[in-house]
Each structure stands twice: as structure tokens, then as C-alpha cells.
Chain A
Amino acid sequence: MSVAKPLTHDAARLHVTGAARYVDDIPTPTGTLNLAFGTSSVAHGEVTGCDLAEVRAAPGVVAVLTADDLPFANDVSPSIHDEPLLAKSVVHYVGQPIFCVVADTHLAARKAARLAKIDYAEHPALLTIDEALAADSRFEDGPRIYEKGDAEAALAAAPRLVEGSIEIGGQEHFYLEGQAALALPQEGGDMLVHSSTQHPTEIQHKVAEALGVPMHAVRVETRRMGGGFGGKESQGNALAVACAVAARATGRPCKMRYDRDDDMEITGKRHDFRIAYRAGVDEDGRIIGIVFEHFCRCGWSQDLSLPVADRAMLHADNAYHLPSAKIISHRLRTNTQSATAFRGFGGPQGMLGIERVMDHIAHDLGCDPLQVRRLNFYRAPEERPGGIAPPGPPAGYLETGKIEKGADLASRGVTEAVAQTPAPVVPSGAQTTPYHMPVEDFILHDMVATLEESADYAARRERVRAWNAENPILKKGIALTPVKFGISFTLTHLNQAGALVHVYQDGSIHMNHGGTEMGQGLFQKVAQVAAASFGVDLDAVKITATDTGKVPNTSATAASSGSDLNGMAVKAACDTIRNRMAAHLADLHQTEPRKVHFEGGKVFVGDEEYTFAEATAQAYAGRVSLSATGFYKTPKVQWDRIAGRGRPFFYFAYGAAVTEVVIDRLTGENRILRTDILHDCGASLNPALDIGQIEGGYVQGAGWLTTEELVWNAKGRLTTHAPSTYKIPACSDRPRIFNVTLWDGANREETIYRSKAVGEPPFMLGISALMALSDAVAACGDGSVYPALDAPATAERVLWAVRRQEAGA
């Protein structure tokens, strides 16, 4: 069978020969125009004068569009219509598009965009968390609060109190392929859009609104992206809409790609957070009650910030049972890029908060943080992991939830009015999360024990101690951190997917689904599912570009859900066709359909055997439909995001990592020496692709917390807007020793071949790098001062933390 095999990426051959096409590589018709935005140079202000005469007169310029030139919706927001494509009068951040140049060439458009003379009446700009708090500048009315038990009472009664705060920086996606779109006008006012997007349906929706046409008049195609990481869930809207509007206005194809600087200055990034904590613990380090306060810098527009901040709250527990907890979340509006989806979607920030608490408790107690972590783990379920979960009640969400009129239905940014969701039934013995969901599949006890042994944790901790005793300059640190990540869109209705499968008369198979390919190998995994359904070789299955004309109403390829959702939908479509073929062949041979088997490229009917192509031809001649759609919706999920109560996740994905680092106490330089990872992909659909996700996710996560520092100047301009100033991990930054192993166990929930989602969870394994640095810094002192390392822990930040240790000692 084609599933569970470590097959290479489906497009690997195209990539290594340079033949794989990205949007900017698609051959365009003669006369194609290129676009560039003219952007705001102030962080907040009113445009008092906008002289575009020189822009219009510049060589190669065909048209210049402003907000006044947009015939229909001037909106590229994925949530509450607060994000115009082109600013109307008020600008809200440095880099906000104000006008759009349409010119013969990319260079001509960019050059002309710089010739504008714009006058502003500047308003005070809110750039930081503190400034936004002081001005009470926020989304939603006040802070969102999730509560379980009486945390304040528990704190008051606790023998020990651990409190502190951590600053967590944002992160630039730095997908290697910048944002890009190409719009080609079709007959009758229709529009074809090629977009580098994780969410073709959202592009289709926004383009249709901007052109004043029904969605059926817009077709969006996405073959692949050169990386996405969440940065292409909503941030591609502006380019696609601009291209479509310009194409409509000029009657010519229009293309737009952001240069790297523009991309970094215009588009949103990971939310930066401050997390303040007060934990009441017992003498062993067990948490009795905890209060978290999340301060989330959302930027100027709402975008996807509410569900991001929600997911941070939903991961405030990570792997730990919090008997009582209160999580307060402030969603702050600032005059900076509108922060957006980024791998983990708030989960990493929330999780880092509790991991920081674990580290802090252990430091206070003077014990190994692993001991404290383990002590606080959720209880293991009584049944064995991998056991089959009972079916849940049918999801009643859509029946109870009401969608606002005019809402952006397919976007995670939509907010729903939610009917009261009953508290989930808690099986006896199960512990619950702070949002009252029972944790029934907790496998970290076994996983951590296994990793501890394979990584030789205890002996290495001793060696680190011995090393630090002997070496005055270079100090080592080690940490093991776990991950428990919730899988499902927290906007429940997005947990659906469609597929379209055709079997042609020669036995070749055309497969299409709503997921997009950004490098993660989704297309290959889903093709493996299709090949397995028909019992054919993978090369019988044609992988095709995501296309809103083939599968409608798709959700973003996001929330790690790609193969869970689309794999099931494709399987449903394939099974439909296979069952029709089986019924027909059974009829021909006067046997039962269940006695028809599809295997090894053959179809066995009783004693007869056909090649798959012969069987297909038989079915075609017998007038059997060889085309089918497939549909899937995730069962069991149902929750109330306002109250913070219910089951937002179908299941959890788990992992754990041990990282060892060394720092130079004279400079703060630091290196990852060794990383060992044990990660849970359920019964992996493709171990090679999954391991690739884990390795890449870890390095990206460690980069977020160590070298990747975003800096804005006092005027709100992002000064790290190129790879020459913003440090992405390079080849020499990867761990010297890097061992990645998959946990051997099936998903207890009924997912596609019992696999688990893998896109986001491994990112948070990178937290172990920050905790190892904290350990190394602590080794420079006498134990009296907690390192309280903020993120990213750049060399300079590590040095000053070391100096605090030295001063405290």
C-alpha cells in the first residue's frame, strides 16, 4: 500500500531541475502589467495631500489607482472589514499601501511609486504593548478571560508563589518566495487569479467583492507556494485584489510580487506577546493555581488576531494539569503591521508562558526542571495510547452557532455568536484543561521516559554540571520540554474539506482537493491516500493545482489540518468511485461487491483478475460514473470561544525535545550542540515528510527564540526588513547533532489512517533551546537570581543576563 511509506516530495524532480513553477515563473501573455504599492511613511496620521502627478508621468506607468478608483469593496480584511486595500485618508502604520502603480515592468512600477508627494498630519502612534495599554487601544471590548476554578483563592492558599513576566518577540515568516499574484481577465468579466496563497477560497471571495461579481466569476488557482508558514493565509489578499482590480481597469493581465523589503514592511508577522504569570505551587513544585495575563500586540487591523490570541490561551496549560487557572488576554491595537497567522497561531506564545513558569519554579526549588514538568503532567489515561476512542456526540455546532450577516465565512477571522455549549462530559479519572476539555489521550509520560533514555538525559545533565564546574568561560545548558498541541480549527465550521476525483478510461486518476502545497508534502500524502484506495501505484495518480473551480468553499491550508481534512475527503471520493466499480464488476461476474479487491494495480473479482485500467474500461463501458466528489467534516468538536468552554480540538499531537547549548559568558554567543526529538505523528502517512516537518519546525522555532529579532524604530518603521538585518537560521545554526525519531503509535481518534497532523506542533519543540539557554545562563551564577531570559535570546541579551547572574552572585 502506498501509505506509511517514506516517499519523496511529489515535485522533487521538478525542484531539482528548476522546472517547478511558482507564480512569478508562469509565462505571461504579452502586455502583462506589473504592480507596486506606494506606502505610508508615517505610523499614524491623516493624508492631507497626495500629489501623484510625477508617479503618473513616470516612464512605463499605465495607471495609478487610489481608494477613489476602486469601484466596489475596498477591503482585504479576513475578518471585520477594517483593512482597506488602499488607505482612504487615515494611515495606520509605516508601510500601509496608499496607492497602486500599474506599469510595464516591475522595476518601472517600483520606481514610480517612490515619486509620490504625500503630506501627512501626523497623529501620535501607539507602537508598543505599554503604549497601547495606556491608551486602552484594543480589539474586542475588554480582555477575554478563561477560567477554571478559583485561581486567586488557590494562589492565596499556596505555600509558594512564583511570579514573573516574559517578553516574547514576533517573527517574520520569510517564506523564500515572496507574496505574488497574477490576474488574467477572461471573457464576460470573469477573472482567473494565480495566487501564492494558503487560502484560495479567501482570495476568490475578496476578489469577487472587489470586482462586484459573484464568486462564480472568479477562479483561483494555486499550484504551489515557496513557503507559507501562515504568512499566506490572509496576507496575499492585497496583491490578488490589486491585480484583479487593475486587470479589470486596464483589460490586461496584471502581476504583482513584493520585493523582500516591501514584503517585510507591508505584511504581518507573528504576534509579539508579554506574558505575566503568578503561580501558586506546593513544596514539591506542583502547581495549585495560576493566573496568566497575555498582552498580545496585534498591530493595526484585526486580521486573525482574535483566534490567534484564543489559541495562545488554549495552550497556556501545554502539557500540565492546572487545577485552577485564570487566563486573561489583552488584544492590543498598535500602529504596526497587522500581526497574522504564523505556524502555531498563538499556541507557541501561550505554551512558552507555562514552560517559563516550569523553569522558574525549578530554579526557585533548586531542582531539575524536568522533575517539575513531570510532576505537573496531565495524568495518563487508563486505557493504552493508541486504543480506539469512543465515538463522540455528533457536532451540533453549525446548528447552534449563528454567523453574522456579511461575514467572511471561510476565514478564521470571522467571529460567531455562539449559543451556550454544554460543558463536555468528563470521563471518570480524566483531568481537564483550563477550557474544561478532558485530556484523554495524554501519552507524554511514556514519550518523555523514552526520550530521556534515548537522549541520555540524566548522564548528560551530570556532564553539563561537571563541564560548568571546570570551565569559566564556556557554559553549557540542557533542557527537555514537551509539546501538547490541539488539532482542529478553533472556528469549528472550518473543519470541513472537499475533494474531486476523476478516473479516466485508461485507468489514470486525476485528483484534486482544497488543500494547498507550500512544501509540506500535502499533495504527496494525499496522493498516497488516493493510490491506496484504488490499490494502484502512485504514478497512476495525477496531482493537480488547487483550483476553486474544482473544489469550492475550502478552508485555508492551516492549523496543521491539511492532510487530516483533505486526506479524508479524497478517500471518500475515491471510495465512492471504487465502490461503484466494485458493484459493476460484481454484477458482471455474479458475485458480491465485497469480494472485489483492488490491490497491486489489479482488480480481483472472484477468480478473475483485471488490470486497474481494464477494470476502469469495463466500468466506463458499463456506464458507471467514474467521477466523484468527497467531503469530510471533523467529528466531536464543539466549543464556546467566548466562555472558553468545550472541545475545540479533535485530538492532541505530542512531542518532546532535549536541547543542549553552550554560551560564551564574555560575549553571550550561543550554539545548539545537540538536539534529540521524539515526536508523535500517529501512524505516519509518510515518515520522511513528517521528519522533514519536525526538523524544519524545530529549527524555525529555535530561530524565533534565539536569533530572529524584529526591531522597529521610534517612528514605527521596521528596521529589520531584509535578511541582511533579520537573522534567519542558516546551515551552521542547526544543531551539531540532530536526532529525530517518530513515536510509534496510532491516533486513538479516527483520522486518515490513524495519522496525526504535523505542520505546527514541532515548531514548539524549539522552546527547549530557550530553556537550555536559561540553564546555561543560570550556571554563571550562584542560584540566587532567576535568569528570566526574554525572547529572542540574542547574544547581547544572553550577555546581559549573564551579567545579572554575576552581579547577583
Chain B
Amino acid sequence: MEYFEPKSIGDALSLLSKHGAEAKVIAGGTDVMVDIKFKEEPGALVNIKKIPSLAGITERGGSLRIGALTTIRDIETSALVREKLPVLWDACRQFASLQVRNTATIGGNICRASPSGESLTPLLVLEANAILAFSDGERSEPFKTFFQGPGKSAAGAKGLLTEVDIPIPPAGSKGVYLKHAVRGAMDIAMVGVAVMLTPDAGKNNAQDVRIGLGAVGPTPLRAPKTEALLKGKALTAALIKEAGALAATEASPITDQRSSAENRRWIVEALTRRGLEQTWKAATGKEVA
């Protein structure tokens, strides 16, 4: 295994061009090192942690820009994120363990492209974009099309994720991330549900509702039919019940050692309902009637 520490994005991209699929990018290493130990070593390991200015959280225009090397812990402890992007904050605080959060980066979590990755469904519902550098230039890719399958993303073998561009939701919008797992820390989500709700001006209806489903398909998913059902309406118990059931049909889970597919759908249903109740209450100050 060859090991590289490029000092610039350009150097990193040249290495990726040269080594192609043989190369593996490493940042925090919380996934990559496990693979090296338990699976196999890549031909070339490209450590991007020495590239300056890839970490940090800044507000620019109507967006928050989060550098790829920003640790999950930095996001979790950012007052800006907590205020502007509560759904992302909520997911980051439920991520693995404090030790892992101190090391793992958001770029790593994204590029891993695991359907259960904690930050992924929040980025989907925030309609964020991945800023990707290629040797022929930079490109902004919406997360909707970024995730292509387990471990597969639009960055491919030769692109480098440098930043995440997250449009700040309208003031008054609320979000939650609900995680179902076997144990309280250091566990992969059996199901993760991100819900974001924006009320209308009078706080009478849900002007916009977005639902992200994790660990129930080959990529993190949105639940478009469920979102459409809810848009523009006041949330009632009956409507939420219907929405939960519909969201369960939008998931395409598998059975594995952690849970049956059937149970995953049940959990999607329960967490979708719960996420809607919580965001409705947070956004409108009213209990679901």
C-alpha cells in the first residue's frame, strides 16, 4: 500500500487520477481503517487531512458551507448549525460515540454513502449540494443524485468532496432526526428518519414537509408521496397516521441480522409519525389534533 499526504486539492486530484479505483481517500479514518483491518488494503491511501482550509463552518449568502474535513463533533457543537439546521445537529449528536465524533468527518460520512449514514438523510431533506472537485473543475451536485448505491457516489474514484453547501431553511422551519438502534451508542441505525417541517405564515398549515429515510434502501431516500400528501395541510392525527403508513411503503428495506424488513417498515411508520408530531409542535406550538 502506498501512502500519500497531498498538501493541496490539486495534488490530491492528481493522485486520484493516477491511481484511479486503486486509491482510497482517508480523512478521520473511522471507516477506512476498519476496512483496512477487516477487509483489504487499498493500493494507495490518500490522506487529505493535510490540505488546508477543508474544515470549517461558514455562513455565506443563504447557505451554510461545511468543509469536508469538519468533524461531526464540530458540527454537533456549532451554535450556528444548531440554530439554522436543527435536523443535521440532531443527527450528528446521535452519531456513533463521542470518541468517533471527535475524529469522523462529515465528508467521510457522506462519501462512505452508507444507507444508514447519520448525516445523509438530513442533507437530503435540507436539499443540500455536494461541492465536488475534479481535475477539470468544480461541480455542485445535489445529494438527491449524489448517492448512487452503498459506497457509490457521484464523486466516483476521481472526484474529491470539498464542501457541503446547505441552503438555510426558512425561519420557523423545524427538523428532527430519529434513530432506531439496538444500543445507545456506537451503533448503526436500524432505521433513521429525518423530518423537516416549515409552517406557513399563520402557523396553520405545513407549507413544506420533507422526509428522509435511512437504512431502508440501497441509498438514503426521500419519501416524496408522503411529503406530497402533507404539503399545505394542517397536521391531524388521522393525516399523520396515513402519512406514516404511506412512508412505510416508500421504504424498500431488506431483512438482515439486525432486523426483518417488515419490522423496518413498522419502524419507518412509527418514526415518521413521531417526527411529524414533534416538528409540527415545534413549528406551530400546537399539539397534533
Task: Answer whether A and B are interacting partners.
Answer: no
